Amino acid sequence: MTLTELRDSLHNCQRCKLAGLGRTQVVFGTGDPQATIMFVGEAPGYYEDRQGEPFVGAAGKLLTELVQSIGLSRSEIYIANVIKCRPPNNRDPETDEVDTCKPFLLQQIELIRPKLVCSLGNWATQTLLEKKVAITKVRGQAFHVRDFVVFPMLHPAAALHQGRLQEPLREDFRKLKIYLDQVSAAESIPTAPVASPPAQDTQMDLFGT
Ligand code: URA
């Protein structure tokens, strides 16, 4: 299956109750289908639901600026969400919705084969690490999960709501840049030295050593 075929297979998806709870359209994802770096958020909000594209509202503007601050552009990365449809009033996704939609995110990752998946916020991070970990404990570090590497970061929307998180979010992007520079110096993403997700809330350094 190609990424386009996967997108087409989700067009007007009716697999979970969000289809009948006011969503306008499925927000599949956007960017380079062969991107090296992928960003994963939680779920579409109002503007994303309207435009059919992830991260186009205020949080998206901040994300774009931060991506550019480390020398990348939106067209070189891929952006998606765990949940492809907007939950009513932007409520948290429910377990049955995640169970239905997560396999499509994993398929997206498999097809794009990014070297690094940056999970934005607690929610996407816990979904991808498959562990109840606090974002504050795992942010800015790389974790080997399944056959990809997850790099948790604070969510731009959190930084917009709580000004004190702006600087830590910028710090996460600086750490991402350092990680990417080290990886490109080594010419490939290291798989073995990268940390596994912590069993609990254990703090690890960038390479999990
Ligand atoms: N927040 C998200 O998690 N995803 C979006 O697409 C927009 C805001």
Q: What is the pLDDT of residues 13-71, one digit of tens each?
A: 999 999 999 999 999 999 999 999 999 999 999 999 999 999 999 999 999 999 999 99
Atom in ligand 1 nearest the alpha carbon of residue 123: 3
- Reported as a single tens digit per residue, the pLDDT across 91-101 is 999 999 999 99
pLDDT band at 196 (very low <50, low <70, confident <90, very high): low
Ligand 1 close to Cβ of residue 44 (< 6 A):
yes
Run of H or E including 30: strand 30-31
Cα of 42 from ligand 1 centre, angstroms: 6
Choose the CATH number for 3-12+24-186 among 3.40.470.10, 1.10.260.40, 3.90.180.10, 3.40.50.300: 3.40.470.10
Phi/psi-derived region of residue 68, left when phi > 0, alpha when psi is between -120 and 50, beta in every other case: alpha
- Reported as a single tens digit per residue, the pLDDT across 123-178 is 999 999 999 999 999 999 999 998 899 999 999 999 999 999 999 999 999 999 99
Predicted confidence (pLDDT) at residue 83 exceeds the cutoff of 60 = yes
Cα of 41 from ligand 1 centre, angstroms: 5
How is the chain split into domains, by residue range? 3-12+24-186
CB atoms within 10 A of CB 4: 11
- pTM value is 0.90
